[in-house]
Amino acid sequence: MIEMSRQKIIRRLLVLRNLELFNIFWLPICLYVALTSRNVLHWQPYAYGMFLICAVLAQGVFYWHLKLQTISKTGTTFPDYFYALFSFFTWADVVLLSIYPILIFCNQITPLVNFQVSIGSSLLFLFAILEYTNYYHYQLSHDNLNDLRYLFKYRKIRRSPMFMDMLRNQKQDRKP
């Protein structure tokens, strides 16, 4: 019975990793088709928003891959670099996310910056923030019955798996 649930977890992690990897390529293609079919002139905010989404998705692919390795091989833990690398990613993501509003502000005060946002590009930016939050802080996606049960039972959003793994890994790094 335990082995069966372990196999389910492995299958789920494979699906998560592979879908995120697929989306890194599929979403920019969809955006390109949408922008070219509508002859959008100010594509830069869209491209930057999509870059942010793909950067967070790539980090997610790497996380799910490492998680898959820890679960599929008994006795394996996250690599020693896990906490340091994903702490860096957290910091880098915040910097990258802060650039978008800075460019909007600079567009308003100087004609040298041409970063004209639209509702669509702002929605892409918002989605990038949600993806970042979903991976690094709180689990916003509830795509299985277990997630929904927790949400209804405790009436709160749980911490993301990456957050919990980073917390555990941080505590392990501090032990002598």
Domain of residue 146 covers 2-174
Q: Give me the number of domains the chain comprises.
A: 1
Coil, strand or helix at 99: helix
For the segment 107-129, the average pLDDT, to the nearest whole number, is 91
Cβ burial of 97 (10 Å; 0-12, 13-18, 19+) is: middle
For residue 1, what pLDDT band results from cuts at 50, 70 and 90?
Answer: very low
Return the sign of the alpha-carbon dihedral for residues 63, 153, 167, 79: negative
Tens digit of pLDDT for each residue in 23-65?
999 999 999 999 999 999 999 999 999 999 999 999 999 999 9
Q: Which of 66, 41, 28 is nearest to 161 (CA)?
A: 66
pLDDT, tens digit (0-9, with 9 covering 90-100), for 126-169: 999 999 999 999 887 777 667 677 777 878 888 888 999 999 98
Residue-wise burial string across 30-54, b where 16 or more C-beta atoms lie within 10 A, e elsewhere:
ebeeebeeeeeeeeebbebbbebbb
